[in-house]
Structures are given as structure tokens and as C-alpha cells.
Amino acid sequence: MAIVGGGYTGLWAAYFAKKLEPSLTVAVFEAEQVGYGASGRNGGWLSAMPPGNRATFARAGGGLEASRALQQEFVAGVDAVLDILRAEGIDADQHKGGALVAAHTRAGLGRLVARRDADLKYGLTDDEVHLLDRDEFQSTINISTVHGGLFYKHCARIHPRSSSTASPTP
């Protein structure tokens, strides 16, 4: 089996193809170096923050409950990647430390409050997305212009090139 592209999608496709059918010979082809493209440019983020507009998805994709279920899949996906790395003994410089989103103006803080309200509506809990006031935010990262922010619990980082150096044989 040939997989074109050595980013997250290609590497995980190769991994799961081999897991599902151990007799397969799987080769990953990458034009540059593994992790070079978008997987490397994203800073190694594993994030449960959904891309796009959840309200649009809810209207087109099955309603509020479907959007909540999708959000929970994003959350589960972060932990699934970390679990597989751990189980396979792959050191991808992984760390689940969450993610901060800063508000540098009062208006920006208002937008983050609205964003958090939407996060709660679409399936995250108070524990998973926490609104930080100025002092709480600055105790984590001392940014003098911050008015507050959000902390997302289900975010991690991995290094795509590091994750590609191991060759697990399921």
C-alpha cells in the first residue's frame, strides 16, 4: 500500500492500515520530509477546538445533538492520539498542557465570553473550557496587555517529525 504524504493524515493512515491488516506492506511517500507540510506548520497542535462554525454544522449536519457529539469526538481524538503514542512507545515530544486564547481588549474579552458560551452550548463543560480573568491569565503567562482569556483543557502538542521516526510493527 502506498500513502502519499507524510503529515498527520498520512502517518495515521499508514499506522491504522497496518493495525487493521498486519500483513500489508505500507510505504509513505513524502516530497519533502515527514512532517514538512501543514502538519509541521501548525506548530504540532492536537486540538479539540473545532474548525469552522458549529451553528452552520448543526443546521446542516443533524442538529445540536450531532454538533455536541462531533465536539466530543474532537475531545476523544486528542486523547486517542496520545494513548497510541504511549502504547507504541513513540516519543513525539507529546505534552497535553491545554491551550490559552488571549483577549487584548475589552471587546475581545466580550467575544471570548460569547465563544465560551457557544463552547458550552455545543458540548464542552466548565472544566474543559475555563474563562480566565486578567490575574488568572497573567499568572500563567504574563502578558501586560491581556484583559483575560480562555483555557482549553483538551489541547496538546506533538512533533510530527519526532512521531515519524519510530516504526511500530503492530
Distance CA 73, CA 49 (A): 11
Distance CA 25, CA 22 (A): 8
The pTM of this model reads: 0.80
Which pLDDT tens digits describe the chain residue by residue (170 residues)? 999 998 888 988 999 999 999 999 999 999 888 877 777 677 778 888 887 788 888 888 789 999 899 899 999 999 999 999 999 998 888 999 999 999 999 999 999 999 999 999 999 999 999 999 999 999 999 899 999 999 999 999 887 655 445 444 44
